[in-house]
A = this chain, B = another copy of it.
Amino acid sequence: MQWTKVLGLGLGAAALLGLGIILGHFAIPKKANSPAPQDLDLEILETVMEQLDAHRIRENLRELSREPHLASSPRDEDLVQLLLQRWKDPESGLDSAEASTYEVLLSFPSQEQPNVVDIVGPTGGIIHSCHRTEENVTGEQGGPDVVQPYAAYAPSGTPQGLLVYANRGAEEDFKELQTQGIKLEGTIALTRYGGVGRGAKAVNAAKHGIAGVLVYTDPADINDGLSSPDETFPNSWYLPPSGVERGSYYEYFGDPLTPYLPAVPSSFRVDLANVSGFPPIPTQPIVCALGCPVNVSVYNRLELRNSSNVLGIIRGAVEPDRYVLYGNHRDSWVHGAVDPSSGTAILLELSRVLGTLLKKGTWRPRRSIVFASWGAEEFGLIGSTEFTEEFFNKLQERTVAYINVDISVFANATLRVQGTPPVQSVVFSATKEIRSPGPGDLSIYDNWIRYFNRSSPVYGLVPSLGSLGAGSDYAPFIHFLGISSMDIAYTYDRSKTSARIYPTYHTAFDTFDYVDKFLDPGFSSHQAVARTAGSVILRLSDSFFLPLKVSDYSETLRSFLQAAQQDLGALLEQHSISLGPLVTAVEKFEAEAAALGQRISTLQKGSPDPLQVRMLNDQLMLLERTFLNPRAFPEERYYSHVLWAPRTGSVVTFPGLSNACSRARDTASGSEAWAEVQRQLSIVVTALEGAAATLRPVADL
């Protein structure tokens, strides 16, 4: 999981009723007389909830995390086979499963020349060499498959220079050093993880002529200040002193050589000299070091490697051309018990339970369910991105929603969901029916609301969903294809730890025992996430009416509008730019979404025809697509969603508007920058008007 890119706030959806038909040419026997209207079957749902087994999840995790399985490594390939074997199992498998392989550009440390960081004494002699590997505390930190800590995609080089402490390596941090009169040219910047993205630290540093960047994990950021061996793993969940976070320092996502094209062997590849998004200067993650000067020696190599996705499908009985996608990545940095195996262990348990019902003939979903195990996510969401590039139209036309479960358990306190507004209510419906782990018999929903909540003008106090950044494989689905997406996990009680993320993140200490002893003994949080995801999948695949509540977008649009009015209104007025058309567009959307909701409730009271419901469901499914505009932010690779593109501007509103305003702020009226503000305003108004138009009765002009 790429932690450093996760952003702000969002919302969700629900529904019921139905009828069943069987498709002939998919070789499913046509029933003599088709059954009563097919809809979500609460008995099946109950069965699935019961059969999701914590012990089996634990055994899955043990197997998945037994060995390091770095992307494209032999063990990663073994896991491809494990997934295929599970998904093709005659008793508990899916209808079909296959692996698809891409040839992608990855980055690894050299086998022959390990990356080295030496501290040089006053006489020029090396007085200290930083550890090249983590200390072998549990016997799992040694061995050839444990990749040395490194900054993937950082260029090779051997810069030497004085060490300068640059806090988190944010632009402000370097500015601060400048104002203090500290010479940065030719120095080595020592930065700590957090604050800004990994790659950004090197990008910012290079702007000031810095020659190299070191990145370390500060115990204050991840260990609640604890750092001694007896206070850390294997004695607690905290990171041992020698732990070092690995990670990708690539600024974009997808295979760096094939933007917008699938990385199949025949695809055009950008010349390495023209690749953008790599860190500009040698960079190396280390254990906290002090004293200077420093020699940094980075010998990373770029290699074309084969990386596979594994896909499995349960064919829909009635609407096989509607896909509910559920996925997680498979590759880890080392053993990756938490990241990503905690998610994959659940993926396998869910596919087993659903597969068993399928093979027994007790159940087949109304819509198709697609399971995905993505490759090379740690290097930049590569497997999922290449998949969306290869099947762009097919997925965009047919996908109901994408559900992502990467790290399924950060900690045991509460559920945490990120997603787009239409998925809120289906998550709420699911979590209200599932008992939360731990003491008491609260529902997951009732426990969740204690940790993350907001006051909704429509619903009152509700759990708050986070919005989707680019932290995991949901990114291409929401930003590039405009598919309603969500990411589900169990996480911390923030009053109990200030850890930026679970302490052993991307280190060789992220092991099975770590999860089993400290993160989720008993695996009840894993089970809770499995049940939540399972219930959401069943509701999306079996409900006669799609449980995507598009009217929940109205709250987001209204809050974006209010922020624009309050924080930008005066500024815009000074430059005679009116928010009037935006107000009208938001109001139109609200009205049409509400009216559509009314029509649905009316229909639900009657006995609607399947074709009639299909037409309504298409309106619900395709709403998210109407927010896409590939020409809105051409410079932001893949980001086409006018509501969720990256926001650099400080005002929490429509990103194009926010960013354009922050760029125009200090320029004169009539500048290019202010023209761009007007263009971005028109782009979002046109998108909202277009969205409202798709929600109207389909035969209205």
Contact = CB atoms under 8 A, between A and B. Distances in A.
A563 interface: no
Given A271-B675, A393-B622, A697 B611 contact: no
A390 B686 contact: yes
A316 B612 CA distance: 12
A221 interface: no
A268 B698 CA distance: 28
B271 A690 contact: no
Task: Give the interface size bracket for A toward B.
Answer: 35 or more
Interface in A390-425: 390-394, 397-398
A24 interface: yes
Interface stretch (A49-57, A61-69, A317-325): A317-325
A318 B611 contact: yes
B313 A701 contact: yes
Interface in A3-49: 21, 23-26
A24 B266 CA distance: 51
A266 B25 contact: no
A648 interface: no
A317 to B, nearest CB: 10
Q: Which of A96, A266, A390, A614 has the most CB of B within 10 A?
A: A266
A305 interface: no
B614 A266 contact: no
A305 to B, nearest CB: 20
Interface stretch (A229-237, A430-438, A527-535, A677-685): A677-685
A690 B599 CA distance: 35
Contact of A701 (B96, B318, B393, B631): B96
B606 A320 contact: no
Contacts of A97: 701
A24 B392 contact: no
A365 to B, nearest CB: 11
Contacts of A693: 390-391, 393-394
Given A321-B618, A618-B321, A686-B262, A699 B26 contact: yes
A198 interface: no
B311 A701 contact: yes
A694 interface: yes
A603 interface: yes
Nearest to A606: B24
- Copies of this protein in the assembly total 2
Contacts of A615: 319-321
A456 interface: no
A685 B258 CA distance: 14
Contacts of A224: none
B389 A320 contact: no
Nearest to A19: B611
A602 interface: yes
A315 interface: yes
A630 interface: yes
Contacts of A686: 261-262, 267, 389-390
30 contacts: A23-B609, A23-B612, A26-B697, A26-B699, A261-B683, A264-B581, A267-B685, A268-B679, A268-B681, A268-B682, A271-B675, A311-B701, A312-B701, A320-B699, A368-B698, A370-B701, A389-B686, A390-B686, A390-B689, A390-B693, A393-B690, A394-B694, A397-B618, A397-B622, A397-B694, A610-B610, A610-B611, A611-B611, A611-B614, A634-B634
Given A21-B611, A320-B615, 17 more contacts: A21-B612, A23-B609, A24-B606, A261-B686, A266-B685, A267-B682, A267-B685, A268-B675, A268-B681, A313-B699, A320-B699, A321-B615, A368-B699, A391-B690, A610-B610, A611-B611, A611-B614
10 smallest beta-carbon distances between A and B, as pairs: A266-B581, A321-B698, A320-B699, A268-B682, A315-B699, A268-B678, A393-B626, A268-B679, A630-B630, A267-B682
